[in-house]
Each structure stands twice: as C-alpha cells, then as structure tokens.
Structure 1
Amino acid sequence: MLDGAEGVVRRFPMGLGFAPEGHKQFEGDGRTPEGSYVIDRRNPNSLFHLSIGISYPNEADIAYARAQGRSPGGDIFVHGGPRPGIDPTDKRDWTAGCIAVTDREIEDIYAMVNDGTPINIYA
C-alpha cells in the first residue's frame, strides 16, 4: 500500500518471502519486513525489472536483532520480475525477503513515488 498526503494512493497485490508469517527479524529468516517504512532509494539497474528500496532495518529492527546477537539483514526492495537472462539462485524464494510485484506494477510504482514516500507493508 502506498500512502500519499491524502491517504492511500493505491494498493498492490504482492509476493513476499518464503516465510510470509510474521515480521522480518534476522538476516536470512525468509521473512519480509512488516509495518511502516519509507521508500529510501531507487535502482534502475537492478537484477529485477526496476526496484525501489525500503528503509528496513529501522532503529527498532536493529536494536532487536543486536539484542539477540544477530544481524537484521537489509537491502529490502519492491521489485518486478527477474530481468531476462537472470536466473534466481533460490527458486523457492527468489524474492529473498523483498516484495515482488509485476513488471507493469513496478513501472507504475517507480513513476508514482519519490524517495521519502511512506509505505505500509502487511502480509
């Protein structure tokens, strides 16, 4: 879901990590972050059909993981499908905890949002 100044701009169906139950806590746990974040970067040269970065991990995510002696992970993106010729290394979870949408949807999202746009992620 993308929030604008006047509320929800648009909702998108999405694919999540292979363990979609619960909030991401640690690197490699197969989960996708849940909650409120912001779009914090863009990657037009992604291995996927465009991608935009999510501000995970936030301070609370980092503190929780550190308290457990673990890494929270990072590099979470909303992205389209793999570019032609790219073969995802993990067929079971090619999203690697990211948020996958169709190529057309990521084109819309990429054009619609700026860095700093709030994003609410819920499974």
Structure 2
Amino acid sequence: MWLGTRLGKITRLAVLAPFTLVVLSLHALSADNPPLPSSAIADKVLVLKGERKLLLMKGNDVLKTYTVSLGGNPVGSKIREGDHKTPEGVYVLDRHNAYSLYHRSIHISYPNADDVARARRLGVPTGGDLYIHGLPNDYEGPTQQLGDWTEGCIAVTNAEIEEIWRVVADGTPIEIKP
C-alpha cells in the first residue's frame, strides 16, 4: 500500500513538474523582461541564430532580447528557395506588414547582392519573402515558442512582434549571425 501511494505521488509529480516549470519560467521571464518604454527606438536588430536570440539594439546597448524560432533547417546560411534556412548576413527591415498571415510582420530585405551572386553561381533560385513575424493567424495552440518551424523567417510570439513592430522603423539594419 505504501509503495503504491508513493508511486502515485511520484507519478503525479512527474506529470505536473513540466507544467509547473513552464509556468514558473514564464513568470520569471515576464519579471526579468519588462516591456520597453513607449519612447524606445531600436537602431539595429541583431539575430544570433545559434542562440535563438533577437536583440534590439540602440548604439552598443541591448534594449531587449527575445527568444526566436527559425527556419526548420536552421544550421548554415540560406542558399536557395525551399531550404528552410534563415539567411545570414546584413539586411534591412524595409517594410511593416499589418496584413500578414502571421499576426504582424516586418520584411527582411533578403536576398542581398551576395545571396543573389551565390544563387546564380549555383544555378538555384534565391527565394525571398522573409520576415520577422508572430504566430500564424489561424494558430489556436499555446502562445509560447514552437521550436524551429518557419520556412526561413524569424518568429516570435504575437506580444513580442507587437513590441518589436513599435520600436523598429522601416530602414533599420538587421544582422543575422550564425
């Protein structure tokens, strides 16, 4: 009897532990990552693919850091259309899209001249139409990150894209590093 009761408690703890960790992690994240002030303006976006981080920069200062989802095949630079890779290099966030299929989105100016030249040498299409964006408009699951799932875009939560949308103007440079 004691062993059965003890195993029942252990089973309940094993089942509840992941949910508890998620709740505590989200609480800790929100406490450590308060919203940016309404006056905040980023002058650069830095993406560290290997760390799955997007940093909003003002000069040399980090305004805020976000965890991101990348293309479903994230290691290495984007070579061609359909490779599910997020590009690496220097681009510009050139337009905001309020009518996105992914809550809101900000367009990345991929491909740049180097990307076009590489694709031409390889005889493959570069692809394009890459964005920083939120979750799909028809998504009804949890609001947290989903792992690497995009076609090559950089995805954040809907609340995070709202904040990024507000503090990043058209023409802001974005550097995407491995």
TM-score band (shorter)?
0.7 to 0.9
Pairing of 1:24-103 with structure 2 (within 5 A): 24-84=78-138, 94-103=149-158
Between Structure 1 and Structure 2, the one with more helix by share is 2
Give ranges in structure 1 of 5+ residues lacking alignment.
87-91
Q: TM-score scaled by structure 2?
A: 0.61
**Which amino acid is the alignment partner of residue 161 of structure 2?**
I
Alignment partner, residue 106 of structure 1: 161
Q: How far apart are 1:93 and its partner, in Å? A: 6.8
Higher RCO structure, 1 or 2 (CA under 8 Å, sep 6+): 1
Alignment partner, residue 37 of structure 2: none
Question: Relative to structure 1, is the Cα distance of residues 121 and 11 closer, same or farther in structure 2, using a 3 angstrom cutoff?
Answer: farther
Alignment partner, residue 4 of structure 2: none
Residues in 1 aligned to 2:79 and 2:118: alpha-carbon distance in whole angstroms: 8
**8 Å contact 1:17–1:96 — kept in the other structure?**
yes
Give ranges in structure 2 of 5+ residues lacking alignment.
1-54, 141-146
Q: TM-score scaled by structure 1?
A: 0.86
The number of aligned residues is: 117
Q: How far apart are 1:121 and its partner, in Å? A: 2.0
Q: How far apart are 1:77 and its partner, in Å? A: 0.2
